[in-house]
Structure formats: C-alpha cells, structure tokens
Amino acid sequence: MPGSVILLVTSPRLPAGVLTAEAWDVVRAHPVYTGSDSPQVDALRAAGATVTVVDPAVEVLLDALAEHGTIVWLAAPDGDEELARSLGLRLAREPGLAALELLYGSWDPPGARVLDAVTVMDRLMHPETGDAWKRAQTHESLAPFLLEEAYELYDAIRDADPEAVREELGDVLLQVVLHARLAEEAADTSDRFTLDDVAGDLVAKLIRRNPHVFADTQVGGIDDIIANWEQIKQAEKSRGSAVDGVALSQPALALTAKLLHRVARAGLTVDFTPADPLGAALFALVVEADRTGRDAEAALRAAALAYMDAVRRDE
C-alpha cells in the first residue's frame, strides 16, 4: 500500500509546541521534514521528534517518502500553499505514489489577528527601522486622529455600509494599539502600560459590570441590566455629582443631551437658563428634543448634510 504525506499545519500565533494530541502522536511516530528552522522545529526536537530541514520541493518529499513510507511535512507559517498544490497535483496524476493528508496541529484562537496587529506595530515602532512619524507621536498629538476615525466610523454606520464599518473599526483599533504601544515606552515608568493591560482592564470591567452573566444576580429585563450597570459604575467611580465623568470634548448638542439625561436619571430638577440668548435658544431646543425622545445632534447633522446636498445641486 502507498504511504502518506501528512501536511501538518499549525498556527503561527500560538506558542511553539502547542499542538493537539493527535499531532503529537503523528510527529513522534513519523519523520518530520520542513523548509526552515523555527521555534516550532525546536519544540518538536526538544520533545523527541526527528525533524529534518530540506529544500521544500516535491521531489525531495517523494524521495523521503520512498525511504520512510510515511512522512510529515511541517508547513511554514504561510501554510506552504504552493508546495501543497504542486504535491497534490502530482499525487492526483500518480495516485499509487502516496496519499496526501492534511492535519491541523493547532488553530488560530478567536482574536488571533490582533496579535498580528501587535507584531506589525512592534515593527513600525522599531527605533532604527520603524516609522519615524509614529515614533514621534504622543497621546496628545494623536487625540485629533482618534476623534476623526471615530467620526468616520459613525458615518459608515449611518450609511449602513458593512465594508466601510469593518475598515473604520480597523482604523479605530489602530489608534488603540498605537496609544498602548506609546504608553509601553513612556519615559516615566508610572505612566507605562501595555495593550495587555488595556485588555485586562476591559475584561475585568465587563465581568464586574455584568453580574447577571458572570455571577448570580437576577434581572427582569434590559432595564434591570442598565440599572445594575449604572449602580456598579457609580460605586466604582465614587462620583460626587450626577454629571461627573461626562465627556466634555463631545459636540455641544450631544454634551447638553448627555447632561440632561444624567440629571433626569438622578431625579433632579434644576432651574437653569443660559445667560447668552443664543445659548439659551439652543439649550431650549435640546431640552425639547430630549423631552420628545429625539436626538438633537443627529437632527442637526441630518440638516447639515441635507444643506450640503442642496449646495451641490445648486452648483
């Protein structure tokens, strides 16, 4: 009976040596060939597997197959697709030579491509061969870009364009990864943190603020979930005012609406009229929009966009 060429594919995003039990049985039972040395090769050899680095060519594999009967080809991180295709075509023409088997020794975990983003950012931030512009940035200099990318994402969501949403989410993620990388190299050690710290804080917050999922808190619906979230958040922040923590850099209409929402949620009644007549008129419009369940920021934005279309028509 013909032997087998087992194409062993592993995830380059997992630590070397992290393989399934089936993969370990295979590499211990049969000689392993690969195109270059790598941490994965070192891990296999350390575990007792026989690994030989050879020229990644079909004839080389067939010669090894003739000698051993069954062999394992440890694919490179890119999967050695061209070699696999050439080998598959050769064995399809001469089926008596060997059987071709594909074995996944490990898979990318969900979110693995974020590790690629970290690797690329490491390259971009290299002090000698990286990107000088990125290395020159600070949290402060990048802040306008973060706002711009967030607005572009908002536009893509408003336009119901999934491809644009995907792209703009990537641009927002770039800001997160770059800010974290800058913090990792902060001159003051007390200002340093990493992307893992950011993700770790997020995980802890999500678990802490969702006790109906991660603990035994009972909820009757979405209103209870929101109430629990706000109660936990209030306890965490120890804020002295209902309006503490509101993002002051957001557009004025949205800021006003957020303040009104916070005050209403706190059950407060505040007697207030802005001193500036224009400010008073705008404030009153936001109050009325909030009372009727409308979004003043979105309404003015829609009017501005309609005006822009009118300008183009006239032009």
Query: Which pLDDT score is estimated for 87?
Result: 92
Residues of the chain under the 50 pLDDT cut? none
> Residue 210, SS3?
coil
Q: What angle do CA 75, 76, 80 make, to 5 degrees?
A: 70
Query: Could you tell me the fold of the domain covering 3-104?
Result: Cobalt-precorrin-4 Transmethylase; domain 1 (3.40.1010)
Task: Say how far apart CA 45 and CA 304 lie, in whole Å.
Answer: 66
Asked if 147 contacts 206 with a C-beta cutoff of 8 angstroms, the reply is no
Token code pair at residue 240: 């002295």
Contact yes or no for 16/40 (Cβ under 8 A): yes
pLDDT at 189: 92
| Token pair recorded at residue 168 | 């703009």
Domain boundaries, the chain: 3-104, 241-315
pLDDT at 230: 79
Q: At residue 73, what are phi and psi to the nearest 5 degrees?
A: -105, 115
Which DSSP state fits 109? P
pTM score, two decimals?
0.75
Residues 6+ apart with CB under 8 A from 104: 9, 10, 20, 23
Q: Which two tokens stand for residue 16?
A: 């070397």
Q: What is the pLDDT of residue 90?
A: 92
Q: What Å distances lie between residue 157 and 145, 164, 252, CA to CA? A: 18, 8, 21
Amino acid at 292: T
Sheet harboring 32-34: ordered strands across?
A: 51-53, 32-34, 70-74, 3-9, 98-104
Residue 55: the pLDDT is 92
C-alpha angle 275-280-282 in degrees, rounded to nearest 5: 150
CB contact set of 5 (below 8 Å; sequence gap of 6+): 61, 65, 70, 71, 73, 87, 91, 98, 99, 100, 101
Pairing relationship of beta strands 32-34 and 51-53 according to DSSP bridges:
parallel
* Helix residue spans in the chain (DSSP H): 21-29, 39-46, 58-68, 81-93, 112-124, 132-135, 139-158, 162-184, 195-209, 211-214, 222-237, 252-265, 277-291, 296-314
In the block, residue with structure tokens 């009325």? 288
